Structure 1
Amino acid sequence: MSEQQRHPSDTSSIILPPRLVRNTQSANPDDDLECSLHYLPKPLLREFSHVFNNEHVRFGSNDGNLQLLAIPTNQRAREDLVAVGDHIEAEKDRLLNVFLTFGKCICEQLRSQGYWADYIDPCSGLPMISLNCNKVYSEVDGMECLLNYKAYNAGFCKILTHPKWGSAVYPATIFAYAPVDVAKSLMALFPSAS
């Protein structure tokens, strides 16, 4: 089955599997992100519509190749993010800034081509571009659904565990309504990290 014929409700949502990419938008060469590209699977469609209120439908309505896509990112933290302290908060701020730079770049490139894209603020869980949205997106639930990463409960929080990095991981997601080939080409612009 070709990618053009593939439907997002198929069992696997993965278009491009996770790979570590160099964040060419960052001044620090060590600010790598693990990225993948997915069709938005059925379990996330309802969540997506609650969070974004169908903001995407106003973009590219004449293009029959448009797909709802997710670009989950994970960053390896220098600290276990379950811990507490000023150094942990400083690390979270660093990781946040790396993702915001990356997410803004991806979204600007897609939007400049006439497609809808937005990224989630990992601190609030709210969209960064779509202003009339106030439903929170759960990054942990998204990573469980898209990548089958595991999570556990710690008090009132759900903690994501990366298969290689454990809980020293910072998840954040970009969403798009664009042709798969456009998204794949955009992802290919970021070189693999060593």
Structure 2
Amino acid sequence: MNSKLIGNPAHVRKLTAGALRLQSSKIANRSLCTLLTTTDASAVPESVVINEDSSGSFAKIHSLPSIVYRDFPFPGNVGIVPTQPRDAVDVTSDSLSSQSTNRQSQLAVYVENLKRELQGFELEVHACPTLLRSEFSSLFPNKGFANGPLSVVTFSRKTKNDMKFWSLEVENERTAVFRDLISAAVQSVNFLNEHGYWADFIDPYSGKPYYSPATSDTLTESDERMCHFNFVIKDMVCYKVILHRDFGFNVIVGVLFTNAPSQSEPLQLIAGH
């Protein structure tokens, strides 16, 4: 630099400022080039390019187009949350399994209630032969006993009193046993219904079907037809009384009819309570 230029301080300051701006511009451009060549394009942020005009000053600033991130392709760097594949759920299988479990639970409740109600009763299951069905068809005229199985279940409760005599004590015991008999028979009918069988029993008070429509026919415990089920009917001249082979006259008997086969599991469970 010659002495003439040095002698003019204002000119020196102008040259120095211009040189500094030029040097800064070069450094900025080199830094930007290094950034673009060394940085993964998927993670480059928005950048700017600084151009220098002919006077050496920073005259224009241009923004680079926004870089699209691979994981955030939408405007505003919004991405999609990846989802993990899930195993297919067999809804039908789960539903059937749940229904089966519920049914088993219901049957277990019926069994427990049935066992509780049958305590104190002796039960016997009889397969009703075809020749005998006509003798009971008048009790249930709408059931068509001529076709399919027909079984009879007898409920026997040993009593404290001799039932061939009458007294207030005998009458009170009979009423109490009738109440227990109805409860046991109702639970038995419900249990058989749950297994898909029809069932009904004879109301001990009236001798008529408990659920089915009443007819003119009745079946009392002293009816001669009870002899088909291992009972003996004794004629006491003025009246008849039932005789049990083990309990003698100290007995009250109930009867249930069902279309369940005598060897079916529900009836065997009832008989073996």
- Aligned residue for 1:135? 217
Q: Which amino acid letter does the alignment assign opposite residue 116 of structure 2?
A: Q
Secondary structure of 2:157's counterpart equals: strand
Distance in structure 2 (CA, Å) of the matches to 1:56 and 1:129: 16
- Structure with more relative contact order (C-alpha pairs < 8 Å, separation 6 or more): 1
- Aligned residue for 1:39? 127
Match of 1:157 among 231, 239, 242: 239
- Aligned residue for 2:80? none
Is residue 47–residue 137 contact of structure 1 (8 Å, CA) maintained in 2? no
Q: Which amino acid letter does the alignment assign opposite residue 184 of structure 1?
A: L
- Aligned residue for 1:82? 164
Query: Unpaired segments of 5 or more residues in structure 2?
Result: 1-113
- 4+ runs deviating over 4 angstroms: none
Match of 1:24 among 112, 115, 122: 115
- Residue 151 of structure 1: how far off its partner (Å): 2.0
- Residue 162 of structure 1: how far off its partner (Å): 1.3
Query: TM-score, normalized by length of structure 2?
Result: 0.52
Q: Which amino acid letter does the alignment assign opposite residue 36 of structure 1?
A: E
Query: Unpaired segments of 5 or more residues in structure 1?
Result: 1-22
- Aligned residue for 2:136? 48
- Aligned residue for 1:146? 229
Distance in structure 1 (CA, Å) of the matches to 2:159 and 2:126: 23
Secondary structure of 1:174's counterpart equals: strand
When residues 77 and 56 of structure 1 are mapped into structure 2, their CA distance, relative to the original with a 3 A threshold, is farther
Secondary structure of 1:50's counterpart equals: coil
- Aligned residue for 1:109? 191
Secondary structure of 2:196's counterpart equals: coil
Alignment identity in percent? 24
Match of 1:100 among 178, 182, 185: 182
- Residue 84 of structure 1: how far off its partner (Å): 1.5
Distance in structure 2 (CA, Å) of the matches to 1:122 and 1:158: 16
How many residue pairs were aligned? 157
- Residue 160 of structure 1: how far off its partner (Å): 1.1
Aligned-residue CA RMSD (Å): 2.4
Is residue 55–residue 130 contact of structure 1 (8 Å, CA) maintained in 2? no
Secondary structure of 1:178's counterpart equals: coil
Give the number of the structure whose alpha-carbon radius of gyration is greater.
2
Query: TM-score, normalized by length of structure 1?
Result: 0.71
Is residue 56–residue 116 contact of structure 1 (8 Å, CA) maintained in 2? no
